[in-house]
Structure 1
């Protein structure tokens, strides 16, 4: 008899994918790259890559904004005086950044594309790259996978994730008083004593052990109980960070605030992977595509802050920077159509781009390519060079390559996807 999810407070552990729990750290890439932190930034809604990342001026087949191609840090970037933050980022960090163009997501539906660009699969029951990296490389941290937005996929690895989002789960764990809402402001808030808190913890663990004896000695139930008990310990360890972070785990759309939380979470040993997000359809410019310009400016300003701070903070290894030990991946689940529609906007397009920097990933490179109709061109997955003898770069190849870049062997999670080897040079 399977334990109920309500009884054990463990959602998201689908039986069909429970076998992933047996992976442990076996998926660590042996003899390859050392483990890296991961900061994943999702630009939700679909960016127009022609605004900066994949310039297409002078083509009758593609409508582009005002601007010109400028080589910054070895990268061809589309710039304009009205977009100074874009120019500033690539001027400072282009030589440390890899652009990947021509990524096929094979859909124009937001949820489907998001699942694909984050998990490398078409299923929301599979974990995304952030969850996999945290589970494989640092499962014992207080919050191995810190999620600062609503769109992330943990699948069977849910026990290692801590969400802020609209639920503010992390704040609740850090401040136990939030677990006891005060419905009447005239009545003092209930606050358990240390002895009462200890009694509750002992009761919960004892109940878990009773369930283990009666129904959870082996298999799926046993794994649920193990992860439940581990999550209790991680919840306790989170409380030690409450003084340092205070109210900062409240949900926010401000990417700069998310950047600050991510930096502190990684540098102070709270998390290994952090998911950041620009969301709520701001980028989904079906009308007024010119709104992409200020959105790119906000994004590039936040990326400049992130890169500067990573470069200025020490890493764990002697003489290293946090930038050397952290891979930053910036993705959007789709792009925009080549041509403007009647509302002067652009609709969904199944080919997108991505940005990567830090963690030893070589910079000043453009990998992959698109054609004169913004279609994905075949590339050599080993070099990233366009070639008629290559293959279309799929979302699964990209995610498999990202896992390799942070030190995880993707074979255990994406067995049918050849990694985009070019990403790590």
Structure 2
């Protein structure tokens, strides 16, 4: 499946379902977008190439002293994955529960090696930075249902562009709460945040 087709079908279906709730006055539904960052582990697990000639896969890092540290190919609801009970137990646990609701799209060309521009392209469909992400679009459309239509807990939202001439920007209905436990500091009594390594302690 091509990513454009996936977004066209899945994205519009999700948006339609959320907007339909508003139109019919029913309990509004919510969209949660999770962007999980990672390096080779993510690619090697979700696009397995175990035993492929000329490809140095995760099997090269198996611990010969640990019989459980072994790479294996498993299929969950038709989705092939490279699993390892020692190094990636959460991958197996997640797909055992959610594979029937999941879609894995491999082979998306980013035309870049920059992490930030590639993340932007995955979230918005464009690497230029002039388009909002799906959460921003829905947040703007549904902002009348609450004080804020879109809450970003990781400081990665893409809010560029305007809805229409004369309409508010995507950012007008969005709130960024930071990525260093700022929200937890506000809502959990007694929580003492720890500064990132290499930074001065918080006052």
- Check whether the contact 2:76–2:96 (CA below 8 A) recurs between aligned residues: yes
Hey, what's the Cα distance between the residues in 2 that align with 1:40 and 1:130?
7
In the TM superposition, structure 1's runs of 4+ consecutive aligned residues that sit over 4 Å from their partners are: 166-172
Secondary structure of 2:140's partner? helix
**Mapping 1:173-322, distance limit 5 Å:** 246-247=187-188
2:62 matched to which residue of 1?
A: none
| 71 and 144 in structure 1: CA distance in 2 versus 1, 3 angstrom threshold | same
Looking at both structures, which has the greater relative contact order when contacts are Cα pairs under 8 Å and sequence separation is at least 6? 1
TM-score by length of 2: 0.61
Match 1:84 to one of 80, 89, 100: 89
1:108 matched to which residue of 2?
A: 113
* Bigger radius of gyration among the two: 1
1:412 matched to which residue of 2?
A: none
Tell me the CA shift for residue 44 of structure 1: 3.1
Hey, what's the Cα distance between the residues in 1 that align with 2:177 and 2:33?
15
More strand by share: 1
1:71 matched to which residue of 2?
A: 75
2:125 matched to which residue of 1?
A: 120
- Check whether the contact 1:162–1:169 (CA below 8 A) recurs between aligned residues: no
Report the RMSD for the aligned CA atoms in angstroms.
3.2
Q: Which moved more, 1:36-45 or 1:96-105?
A: 36-45
| 167 and 43 in structure 1: CA distance in 2 versus 1, 3 angstrom threshold | closer
Secondary structure of 1:154's partner? coil
2:172 matched to which residue of 1?
A: 159
1:139 matched to which residue of 2?
A: 143
Hey, what's the Cα distance between the residues in 2 that align with 1:53 and 1:166?
26
Secondary structure of 1:100's partner? coil
> Structure 1 unaligned runs (5+)?
1-27, 173-244, 253-425
Tell me the CA shift for residue 37 of structure 1: 3.0
- Check whether the contact 1:71–1:77 (CA below 8 A) recurs between aligned residues: yes
Hey, what's the Cα distance between the residues in 1 that align with 2:58 and 2:12?
43
> Structure 2 unaligned runs (5+)?
1-10, 19-28, 60-70, 161-168, 194-203
Tell me the CA shift for residue 93 of structure 1: 1.6
Hey, what's the Cα distance between the residues in 1 that align with 2:81 and 2:184?
40
| 168 and 125 in structure 1: CA distance in 2 versus 1, 3 angstrom threshold | farther
The answer to whether residue 154 in structure 2 is matched with residue 149 in structure 1 is: yes
1:95 matched to which residue of 2?
A: 100
- Check whether the contact 2:120–2:129 (CA below 8 A) recurs between aligned residues: yes
- Check whether the contact 1:143–1:160 (CA below 8 A) recurs between aligned residues: yes
1:34 matched to which residue of 2?
A: 17
| 68 and 124 in structure 1: CA distance in 2 versus 1, 3 angstrom threshold | same
- Check whether the contact 2:153–2:179 (CA below 8 A) recurs between aligned residues: no
Hey, what's the Cα distance between the residues in 1 that align with 2:187 and 2:100?
36
Secondary structure of 2:121's partner? helix
Q: Deviations over 1:171-208 (max 9, x none)?
A: 99xxxxxxxxxxxxxxxxxxxxxxxxxxxxxxxxxxxx
- Check whether the contact 1:148–1:164 (CA below 8 A) recurs between aligned residues: yes
| 59 and 106 in structure 1: CA distance in 2 versus 1, 3 angstrom threshold | same
Hey, what's the Cα distance between the residues in 1 that align with 2:159 and 2:182?
15
Tell me the CA shift for residue 143 of structure 1: 1.8
